Structure 1
Amino acid sequence: MNRFLSFSVLILLTVFSSNAFAQFGDPPKKLEKNTGYVGLLFSYSQNTKENTKNLLENVKFDKTSSTSVNTGGGYFFKENFAVGMGITYDSKLSDTESINTFGPNTISDSEVFSWFFNPFIRNYFPIGQRNQFYIFTQTGLQYGFGNGNETAETGSAIEEYDIKEKTYGIAFTPGMIFLVKQGFAFELNVGVVGIERTEKKKVSTDPDILPELQSSTKANLNINLLQLNLGLAYYF
């Protein structure tokens, strides 16, 4: 239901914006060969769980938030087709209380700051006759690395870890742009679908504790309409 409402709002904003931008006069030129663009986008998400019990986890409380800033651009090798590169800075903060079968619960806090590099190709599809509103599909590779720390407290015992992460993946990102005037545009994309592999290494500050290695592969086949990336772009 939430996704349906979000999609409905998105369609209404599209129609409203398309009509509103018409007052600016003649639309910008087409996305032609040998032109380019640069952009800056922002994204924020937060996920909270309480009293979650299943095979993989048993937590009393978990709150995770993520903030990202993406910059990049592309070059049009032919009309409505661009090749480009994106760079993303991402911060993830987590606060968790895990339930232990015996003894006190474990309270942990972690923060990881990452950089991602994303070479991609992007296809644009104009909607209407004014060349002002486009939807696009973007397909690209993703490589990222991050560093952070974690503190876990169980009763009077406190453990501290240094965290290093590496991420590899293939991402498919649908989105849309509204070209306003003189090449400026509002841009929005609605999440990422694809395949992602993450390798994580946790090293305790206690030399007697061996490093902890984790790896996971995730196939995400859903478009998350509740996690929007919003920003501005300039086409020249």
Structure 2
Amino acid sequence: MRWLKFPLLAVLFIFPARLFAQEDSLRIDEKVTPYDLLSSYYSSNFHPFQKGNFYVGLAFSITDKKLTNTNYLIQQVVDGEMLDYDILLKGGYYTGDYGMVILNVNYFQDHFEGTIFQDPDTAQSKTLKRGFAIRPGFRSSVPLTRTERLSFFTEIGFSLGGSSALTRNIKNIDEVQKIYKNEFDFGVGLSPGITFFAMENFAFEVQLNNVLGYKLNVAKSSTDDGPESKQVRQNVDFNINLLSLELGLAYYFGTNKNTKRSN
């Protein structure tokens, strides 16, 4: 039975040694919190605003309203429901440290259906409006922390887009009124915001749209194929409107590239 002594001795010495090694590793791991691991990622070679990095983002909003005996625009809504949504796709490339050229594409749709009051009668109304806009520009970022995890940015650019809408008002079952409307929009604006990196390359963005800007709107409309009306409106605004607050998610490619920064 002497040949069994060596395997048994190996088990008796090696197995406890492994147990102690595992306990030591567990003790070390217990001292490292998830916050420590996350902070160490941002402290070691994390450069989200470095030249050559790419950026993609998504922002959206949905509005669902129930209206009862409410003045809406230029008409009174007896009973109705409004459902609007807005989607904004963002993209950019850093041409230099902390400076990025951007191209955003926006699509939106507004829908209303309900009963409206048109003196002296009421009518069943349905409106569908769809539009899009392209927004090229430039973004400049200023880190607010040493790790660049929190930063302030300013976007300046212009938007070019349009929309079309169709409204059907039905009275007395068979009396149908159709209103067509087309709009062209052009604007130049300055929009500040905040970027916060929550997990690795993912970031949350909060932005105020067009705090300072100029907007041109050209609207053409006609009713039942009648004569066309035209309205041209220009606005120059300096306004901080919390209702224009835009929330979104973003992903930065190449944030931990081990390259030398440009001077």
Q: Same fold (TM over 0.5)?
A: yes
For 1:61-210, what aligned pairs fall within 5 Å after superposition? 61=78, 64-95=82-113, 98-100=116-118, 102-156=119-173, 157-193=175-211, 194-204=213-223, 206-207=224-225, 209-210=226-227
Q: Paired residue for 1:230?
A: 248
Secondary structure at the aligned position of 2:49 is classed as: coil
Q: Please give the root-mean-square deviation of Cα atoms over the aligned residues, in Å.
A: 3.0
Judge conservation of contact 1:163–1:202 (CA < 8 Å) in 2: yes
Residue 199 to residue 78, structure 1, CA distance change in 2 (3 Å): same
Judge conservation of contact 1:92–1:113 (CA < 8 Å) in 2: yes
Moved more, 136-145 or 68-77: 68-77
Gaps spanning 5+ residues in structure 2: where? 1-33, 255-263
Q: Paired residue for 1:8?
A: none
Gaps spanning 5+ residues in structure 1: where? 1-19
Instruction: Output the CA distance in 1 between the equivalents of 2:196 and 2:124.
Output: 45
Percentage of matched positions with identical amino acids: 18
Confirm whether residue 26 of structure 1 aligns to residue 44 of structure 2: no
For 1:159-201, what per-residue CA distance to the aligned partner results, in whole angstroms no more than 9, with x for missing partners? Answer: 1233322111112222222224543322232444333222222
Question: Residue 36 of structure 1: CA displacement?
Answer: 2.5
- Rg larger in 1 or in 2? 2
Judge conservation of contact 2:143–2:150 (CA < 8 Å) in 1: yes
Secondary structure at the aligned position of 1:145 is classed as: strand
After TM superposition, the score normalised by the length of structure 1 is 0.74
Residue 30 to residue 64, structure 1, CA distance change in 2 (3 Å): same
For 1:85-136, what per-residue CA distance to the aligned partner results, in whole angstroms no more than 9, with x for missing partners? Answer: 1111111223475544x42135432111111100111111211111111121
After TM superposition, the score normalised by the length of structure 2 is 0.67
Instruction: Output the CA distance in 2 between the equivalents of 1:211 and 1:229.
Output: 38
Judge conservation of contact 2:154–2:193 (CA < 8 Å) in 1: yes
Confirm whether residue 38 of structure 1 aligns to residue 56 of structure 2: yes
Instruction: Output the CA distance in 2 between the equivalents of 1:227 and 1:49.
Output: 23
Paired AA for residue 70 in structure 1: L
Judge conservation of contact 1:188–1:231 (CA < 8 Å) in 2: no
Structure whose residues are more often helix by fraction: 2
Judge conservation of contact 1:59–1:96 (CA < 8 Å) in 2: no
